[in-house]
Every structure is written in C-alpha cells, then in structure tokens.
Structure 1
Amino acid sequence: MSANLILKAASIITMDPARPRAEAVALDTTTGTIAAVGSLAEVQAATPGAPVEDLGRAVLMPGFIDPHSHPLNGGMVTQAPAYWIAPYHDAPKYATFAAVQAFWKQLDASLPADQPVVCNGLDRLLQGAPELDNTDLDAFFPTRLAVVLDNSGHEAYFNSAVIRANWPDGKPPADPTGARYGRNQDGTSNGRAYETAAIFAAVGKVLTQAIPNPLRSGALWYKLMAENGITMTTEHTYQTDLLKGYIALSAVPDSPLRLAMYHMSIEADCGDPVDTAPAPKDRLWKQGIKLWADGSPWVGTIASSFPYLDNETIRNAKIPIGPGGESMLNYSRAELDQILDQFTPLGWQFAFHCNGDVGLDVVLDAYARALANHGLLGIDHRWRVEHCGGCRGDQFVRAAALGVTISLPPFQFIYWGDLLDGTMFPSNIGSQWVRAGDAVKSGTPVTFHNDGCVSPPVPLLNIQAMVTRRTPSGAVHGPEQAVSLHDALKAHTVHAAWQLRREHDLGSIAVGKLADFVELSADPYTADIEKLTDQVQVRGTWSGGKKVDLRAFILQIEALEASEHQHLVLRAVHKRCC
C-alpha cells in the first residue's frame, strides 16, 4: 500500500491480537488509512520513501471510543456561557451545596443585570442540596432569569423571574403527557418542572437567551472529548432537528470525532434512514434506535427488586424507598413487543437504557421474543443494553446467550460508589454496582461509557476504576468485580468499535484500517494502575491520519452562522440517560 508518512513511537499498542505491539505505523494521509505496521525497518521496507515523524517517548493506541454520549446537549448545558456545577466537575469548587451557594452569590454580583443564568448538574445526593423552589433561587438571583438543571436530567428549578416571563398569572398550563409542573396550593408555579415536556416549556426561553451559539457549545464538548483521547462517540438521544448541527460539526475539516446516531423511539420518523451529507459517511451515520426501560438511580426511578435504605440522605433527596419494580418501567411489555415488532424488520440496532434488575429482566424477555419471532436468534444482531448499574451477573450470562451486548457506566461507580455502598443500598447491592467482572466473564463484548454530560468524558479514569474498584475517596468497593487492564482497554477500543459495527475499520491499529489514534505520554501497561490517570496523560489524537487541531476546529465552527443552529438550544434539556 502507498504511504506518505511514518509515525515512530516509544511503543504502539495495536489492540490487534495478531500483532499486539509495534514500533512504527505508516499512513496514507490522503485516504486516512494505515498502510503498514511493525518495526521501523519493516515499515520503511514496506513503504519506501515515506518520511518518518518521531513521536519520541509517546505511546500510540487506537483512539478511545465512548459508545454512549450526548455531545450537543452536553455541550449546551455545561460549556460557557452555561455553568457546569456538578460536584465532580472543577472539584472542590462545587463539592457541597454550601459551595454552590457561595458560587451563586458571586455569580449574581459579577454579571450584567440582564444576563440570564443557566446552571447544570445540581446533585441532591452528592451535594446534599434540597429540592429547590423559586423562593430558594430568588435569594441568589432576585431579578435576573435563572435556571438550575438537576444532575439527573429529570428536573429543573427556576426563580420567580422565570415564572413571570412564562406565565403572567404565575400559573403553568395543564401538565403535559408524561411530565408535570410543581405547583403551590393556589395553582401558581413553585419553580419546579419534572420530565422533558414540562422542562422545555418552563426553561426554553431562558436557554435561548443565555446560549446564543449552541453549535459552539457542542463543539466545546467535542473538544473536551478529544482532549481525553476520544476519537469516536455517539448521540444516544438523536432527534431529526439535531441533524443539521451534527452535520455542521462533522463536515468541517478539523472535526475530531466520528459519531453514530441512535434515534429515539418516540420520534415518528425513528425508523427512517438519515442522509448525513455533506458530512462524510464514515464520520456521521445513523446506527440504531434508542429506548428507555426505566429511569435514574439518583432520583429513585429505577425498576429494581431491591429497596433503597431508609436514612436521612435518602429522605432529604426525596427518593422513594421502594422497591419500584415494574411500576418504574416506561413501557408495558405489550408496548415493547409492538415497538420491537415494528422496527426489527428494518434492520436497525436497538439500544435500551436500563438501570435496574427488574428492568433488565423485562428487556431481555422482550428481546428474546422479538429475536425468536423474527428469526434472529444466533444471528449477529448486536442489540444493546445501556448502563445496567444495578443488574445481576446471571442477567449478563443470559444477554450473552442472546447475542446482546452490554455498555457499562463506570461513572456511576466512580462518583456515586461511596454512597451506593451502604447509604443508598445495602453493601451486597451497592458494592457490586456496575458488575464489570461478571459482565466480562459472561462472554458478551463489554464496553464502557460516560453518558456525557452526566459525567466528564475520561476513558483513562473509567479504566483505572474498573481495574482497581477504587473510588476517588480511596475506598475499594466490590473488588471481585474488577477486570484486567487489557479487558478495560478493550472496552474503550476494539469492543466499542465492534459494538458500533465499525470493527472492520476502527478499534485497532492494523493494515487497511482508518488511522485514528490516541497519543499517550506513557504506556498504560507499565504504569501503576492505582495511579494510571496521574502517570498517563493524553497528548493528542489523530483522526484519519491527521493530527487533530482543536483550535482550528473551534475556529471553523465559530465561522459558521450561529443563527442557523439556534433551534438546538431547545433540545439542551432533553432526557439524558444517567
């Protein structure tokens, strides 16, 4: 094969079992593909005349893949001019509710009087925050429009200025289907909205005023992912009105990410194909259909067979003790069967949000029926289940037998692990949260994700946590659920590429594949796994044989007409997965 560039590194971790290690890789930067892999002498012999770029002490790997994310929505509610106040972001600045309150006071004093405020990530469990109302927020933002989005994505809080802007008499309209407004006894708003439709109606005007260039906000999330070594990801709540934005992000010359779209099943056109031109087809494509089985463990809406512990932390967060069981399901079995029967013949990959064990039993039952009825048992369908934080090991064995692949959320363990084990749930449940060990043993290809913007997109931290089972506090929970470093790396490379049906051209460094790499400061295999994120840093990424220039990318997005993408802001509070 032809090549016009050879990269030499301290080591190249190929993730290709046929040749796990190499010294050099030759690239055809015109096609963006790999022409040769091996020792420097072997690669030079295979591609004579190609110049050599020596990366020094850097270690190359296949680019990390986050197979479950929400980049546009994540960027709009976390990147400036919005404020990301989640407790694990910019710690310890937002570690406690007292710290958040101090930030709000400073913020109101520093901004122009007419500038709206949007804060995302308030966490009642981790920060000890109450369920806010308009009078609470009025104390910090007495006159300006102010909105605070709960970290779960299921609730929003807003001040009296927002109430007046929305409803002159202070009274919200009738509750939308599947959502509701918080109300005082006289019917006026109390500054709360629950679930997507009500949140849209309550805070949409504020978002439109506060976020003048939502495409740039999405680009900043792309940049954050790339800075952490990610070269491919997904949009797991794709809607048709997001298409123009994703095409813009994918079509500029220095776009750092490839992106697969999972269309929400509640959209009327979710079964239709999507034309992503002029974005390259290998950079933006529709992958499948997304469904939700249950809700979030952080607000008590998971379909589980086990209750929460009854204590002050749980009561203050207003989480029902439960167990919620099937009452927390978003679909009846009949509805699930109808959806699967309707869209299975179209060939799309399904991806099912599920956190609780009862929910996963129902999903696997529905999957088993649909696979059998449509002649897909034993076929390489790669239907997915997302999260599975509170699910059982035997369920992963059943998933593997059905050909179902699992994407796990290490962030749930990392940021909530200390609470999960002994505060939210008894230790036999909480210590086992995110059963990576059981999932890997089941034989199903396991991947890891960050569900951005629910958590910062940091694959190296996911890998460290799933190998050590240690949270940032230093505590170890469920060491029997630990996985090997190699299995953890596969979860963010070869397995993730396979899960997205891109194993033929991505996920490992091999001849003929696309040249998507992450450049690391040191070798993960020789680092102290307990200090992986300290000893190994991301130096940059390569996409299609080209070193990613993130500054150029942001400038290219800023040069586009912002007004053409203003509609995106109304999707910024859409249901996240968590």
Structure 2
Amino acid sequence: MNRILTADTVITMDPDLPRAEAVAVADGKIVAVGSLDLCTQALPDAEVVDTGAAALLPGFVESHSHPVLSGATMMPPAYWVAPWFAPKWDDVVAVFERALAETPEGTPLAFFGFDGLLQERPEPDAAVLDAIFGDRMVALVGNSGHTAYVTSAVLTHLGWDVNPPADPPNASFDRHPDGTLTGRALEVGAMMAFVEPVLEGVQKSGHPLQGPVEFYALMAAAGITSSSEHTYKAELRAPYEAIAKIPGCPLRIRLYHMSTESDANDPFDSDVPEDMLRKVGIKLWADGSPWVGNIAMSAPYLDTHVTEAAGITPGATGESAMNYTRQQLDELLDRYVAAGWQMAFHVNGDVGVDIVLDAFSRALTVHGLLGTDHRWRVEHIGGARADQFPRMASLGVVPSMGPFQFYRWGDLLDGGMFEPAIGSQWTRTRDAFNAGLKVCYHNDGSVTPPTPLLNMQATITRRTPSGALHGPEQAVTVHEALQAETINAAYALRSEHEVGSIEVGKLADFVLLGADPYAVAPDTIGSIEVKGTWLGGEPIDLDAFLAMSRQVDDSALRELHKLGVPVCCASHPAGAGA
C-alpha cells in the first residue's frame, strides 16, 4: 500500500537532510523524504497517515544478538531470572516458588539468568536446589552463558547419580571429593548435557516457536527492526526461516555462522527473501566473560568481596585466558577469508584485543584486503585501551560495543572488580568515536534485554541505575548514540544500503517514539515510549504476529531443545581450541 507518513518530526539520520516533515512509501520502500507537499507530489494518490508520534526514526538496529536461542531458553514456558527482573537471590527464589505454584506437579522447569555478582549469591548446587524443588527436574543457567545448575532429579534421570561421566572437551562437571557430581556444570559441553533433558520436557508444554517469537516481539517492542544471529548453525535454519515467513514478522536477521561448525564456510541459500534473512559473516571467540574472570586482560582483577562472591581469582589473566593460540587464529582466518565472509570476533580484554588486531593485520595483509571494505568486527571490547581504537580505524575494523556491560555492572567494575582507572573507563565509547570509527551498540540478547534507548542514555550520561557517575570523559553526544543504534549498526551488518536511515530507495523500516531524543533530558532517554514499528512500509501488529506463529507447522521444529543456550560469552564454545 502507498502511504505518506507524518509525525511531529522525522529524524532521518541522513546528514544531507537531518529532519523532515513526511516520508512517502511505496511497495515497501521509501520514495520521497521532506515536506508533506514534496511527498504528496511523489505519491499524489497515497493515503496520508498521521502516526501520532513525536518523532519518527529509522528502525533501531541491534548489531549483535541471538533471537531464536534467547527466546527458546529465556521466554515462556521457561523463566528468565536475570538481575534486571530478579535483582537479588530472594527475588530469584520468589520466581522459583511462582513456577512451582503455576505448573503441574512433575513438570520440568528451566530458569535462565542467574548472576552471582549482582544477585549476591554463591553458585547453587543440587543440594540447594533440591531443598526448593524436591524431586522435580530443574535447570538453572548462569547469565554469562558459562554455568548451569541442576537438581538431583536431573542427575538421576541421566543415570549420573551413580555413574558420573568424564568431563566433556573444554568443559567440566563440578564434583564432590568422592567424584560424584554436585549438580554444577561449567562451559557449554557440560551445561548442555545437564540442560537438554530439562528443556525437552519444558518445550513439550507449548509450541516450539513460542519462546523465539516472543523474543522477536520483545525486540520489536523496543523499537528494533533489524538484528543478527551471532551463533548461527545449520540447525537454526528451520526456525529462522519459519519465523521470517510468518505474516507480520517484525525483524530482519543477518546470520554469523559459528567458526566451530564444520559447514561454516558454506553459502546460505534460502527461499526467504535476502532482505529478511541472509548470512554475512563468521563468528569467532577470542576470550571469555568479564563476570566469571576469564577475559584476556592486562589489568588485574582485584581481591575484594565482589570478586570473592563471584569466585573470580584475583590477578591479571593475560594471554592465558585466550581460547586460541595466535597460530590457531591465523589458521582460522585463513580458512574463511577466501570466501569473503565478514569476521566477527568476541573479545573483551585488552590483551585479547591486541592479539585479535595482530591476527587481523596479518590476515588482511596476506590476503590483500588492507584498505578494502571488509568490515571485520570486534564484539563487546569492554576492557579495550584507548590506544587500540586508532589501530582499529587504521585496519578498517568495526567495533560493536555493549553499553550494557558498563550500565549493568559499572558499579562493580569501578573499584570492585578493577582499579577505578580501568573500571570507570569500561566501554570506552568516547575514545571509539574520537578515533573516527563507525561505533555501534548491542545488548547481546539474552545477556541483557533489548534496550536501545537505554543504551543511548547510558553512553550519553555515563550513569548506572544507582545514579553513580563512572568515567564521564567517555560520554558521547545524543547524535552519536543514535548513530550507534541506527546507521552505524546497519553498516556493521552490511545492510546500510537497505536500513539504518530514512533515505529514498531504502526499506521503509521505522520506529515511532513518544518524544524527540534530542529534545529531552539525557537521563530520560531510556524511558521514552516506543509507540510502534513499521517494517517494509507496514505497521507491525505484534499481537497478530504472535497469534499467527501458533499456526506454524511445528513438525520440523521439535528439536529446539537440542540447539543449546546462547554462547556469545562462552569462553570455550564446543570445539574451540585450547
């Protein structure tokens, strides 16, 4: 349908026309931007729609996420107990009790998001969980993606109460002195051995797409219209294609294939239109997660009650926290460069960043790609040093940064986990912009819920939820923060020719806001109302999308419980090098 959309203001993110009065849309694309008269001339017979929004912007772009896996493991019928919903352990227990009350006796239960740092609770074991759940099969997964905890009933179901298995590669089961299992698992191989039978029982209680489509809806409700899957594997093709084909699907997805998969170099062919679903890159892991102490960092973790509560060993981790040797990194890059894939490296610590940039420099030189439009990426980079950003710029590297690290953990990072000179500077957005980089932001769902406006607020104000100010010299402008959630993020996904700004020829993807981000107090940007999104020139009806999803044939989707949990922050994904 041809339409002309109006709002109090149209914020285009196009430097040649920053503001407009109206946008004309035909066949899902933008055909005119400017005054209402101009748009009417372009589409004289089009319906004029007053959106009622204070500001109409290009839809937000989440540069790094895991929508299907996040939904399958975090959304109903599973329970999300991350600190943003259950701040302390008593709140987690309250969710446990609610789950027991509202599910039939004997139904397996899965909970995701435990964080010992923020919820101030040592890791539970089977004995702790048994006291709450009795003989029910229950799994609790850590928010970092590193740990899982189960009841004794799960161990009995697996036959491991009397015959415990050997540790999987790059993973381990915690054990009592006599070798029996405590109910704690570390890293993906051990975690999934514990969690899979529980998820299988949980997902039998609903349509297998229920959780994933609800996570799509959660992202859309936050104003996001394009995102990524940064741990793609072939088994995820069916759910992603199925969701993309649901009428009113609210998200476009770009796929990054896990380097640990044998078919990671294969092309991606699908009958889903490329603007809705396509593969663009390869996902690799350099180090681990700040919250469990295994990032490759030159600055030492402090010996404080904060690190003690989280079980983090004080001291500098350095190169010992790397998942791969430099030689292995070189071999991995050589394997995938020839196919033209975009590389995306998970890396948090400054030592890790140095090593990844060294590997990038060597591979780009050897393969003749220096100075080309390769857009190789570094993900998260919370502990990066100031001097590393100009080097990224010289190599043509794109930083996808996670403001959630500073916003959610900033009070602990600054003086609790690291010296203030390091912790206060976590997520150096000002340094990144100053280096001339196309900085983009992400929430890394399911590590934190999708909150693009809150990401903006955090990097503009450098204040955490407590109101504490950390590293004000790293603050950015409103415009820079908006770029990071729109056009820069689209660039990172190799999609800026389609989305990220309101320009003629691009896809008509919009977010409607209840206030102009430039016109409100910076510390209120995160609470601006998202009034809705449009995709391809059509308004998104999330209730209709959710209803239609329940009509999808689920015969090819019943194995979602075997796909694992999001492993973006895992230090040793299955099959990774030592």
Fold similarity call, TM over 0.5: yes
- TM-score normalized with structure 2 length: 0.96
- The code of the aligned residue for 2:531 comes to R
| CA offset digits 1:391-446 (Å, max 9, x no partner) | 11110110100000100001001110111111111100000000000011011110
CA distance in 2, matches of 1:533, 1:389: 21
Paired position in structure 2 for 1:470: 463
Paired position in structure 2 for 1:497: 490
Paired position in structure 2 for 1:165: 157
> How far did 1:189 drift?
1.2
1:573 aligns with 2:570: no
CA distance in 1, matches of 2:78, 2:160: 26
- 3-state SS in 2 of match to 1:289: strand
- The code of the aligned residue for 1:45 comes to Q
CA distance in 2, matches of 1:423, 1:367: 33
1:287–1:500 CA contact under 8 A, matched in 2: yes
Paired position in structure 2 for 1:142: 134
| CA offset digits 1:213-266 (Å, max 9, x no partner) | 332210000000000000000000001100111001111221000000000000
> How far did 1:498 drift?
1.0
- TM-score normalized with structure 1 length: 0.96
Paired position in structure 2 for 1:81: 77
> How far did 1:57 drift?
4.3
CA distance in 2, matches of 1:111, 1:245: 26
Paired position in structure 1 for 2:410: 417
1:9–1:59 CA contact under 8 A, matched in 2: yes
1:76–1:572 CA contact under 8 A, matched in 2: no
CA distance in 1, matches of 2:196, 2:495: 37
Out of 276, 284, 307, the residue aligned to residue 300 of structure 2 is 307
- 3-state SS in 2 of match to 1:565: coil
- 3-state SS in 2 of match to 1:201: helix
| CA offset digits 1:3-41 (Å, max 9, x no partner) | 82111111100000111111111111xx31011111111
CA distance in 1, matches of 2:13, 2:420: 36
> How far did 1:108 drift?
2.7
2:246–2:548 CA contact under 8 A, matched in 1: yes
2:61–2:226 CA contact under 8 A, matched in 1: yes
1:170–1:189 CA contact under 8 A, matched in 2: no
CA distance in 1, matches of 2:94, 2:502: 49
Out of 169, 188, 205, the residue aligned to residue 177 of structure 1 is 169
Paired position in structure 2 for 1:216: 210
> How far did 1:574 drift?
4.2
1:74–1:572 CA contact under 8 A, matched in 2: no
CA distance in 2, matches of 1:478, 1:401: 26
Out of 233, 244, 255, the residue aligned to residue 227 of structure 2 is 233
1:259 aligns with 2:257: no
> How far did 1:109 drift?
4.2
Paired position in structure 2 for 1:318: 311
CA distance in 2, matches of 1:80, 1:560: 17
Residue pairs, 1:18-33, within 5 angstroms: 18-28=16-26, 31-33=27-29
Out of 420, 426, 439, the residue aligned to residue 427 of structure 1 is 420
> How far did 1:169 drift?
4.3
Paired position in structure 2 for 1:538: 530
What stretches of structure 2 of length at least 5 have no aligned partner?
571-578
CA distance in 2, matches of 1:109, 1:502: 46
> How far did 1:98 drift?
2.2
CA distance in 2, matches of 1:464, 1:136: 39
- The code of the aligned residue for 1:317 comes to A
Paired position in structure 2 for 1:53: 49
| CA offset digits 1:488-517 (Å, max 9, x no partner) | 000011111111111112111011110000
Paired position in structure 2 for 1:131: 123
1:451–1:577 CA contact under 8 A, matched in 2: no
CA distance in 2, matches of 1:382, 1:102: 45
> How far did 1:110 drift?
4.3
| CA offset digits 1:75-95 (Å, max 9, x no partner) | 122111111111112xxxx11
- The code of the aligned residue for 1:264 comes to M
1:301–1:324 CA contact under 8 A, matched in 2: yes
Out of 494, 513, 519, the residue aligned to residue 520 of structure 1 is 513
CA distance in 1, matches of 2:492, 2:305: 41
CA distance in 1, matches of 2:100, 2:266: 46
Q: RMSD of aligned C-alpha atoms?
A: 1.2
- The code of the aligned residue for 2:216 comes to Y
Paired position in structure 1 for 2:327: 334
What stretches of structure 1 of length at least 5 have no aligned partner?
none
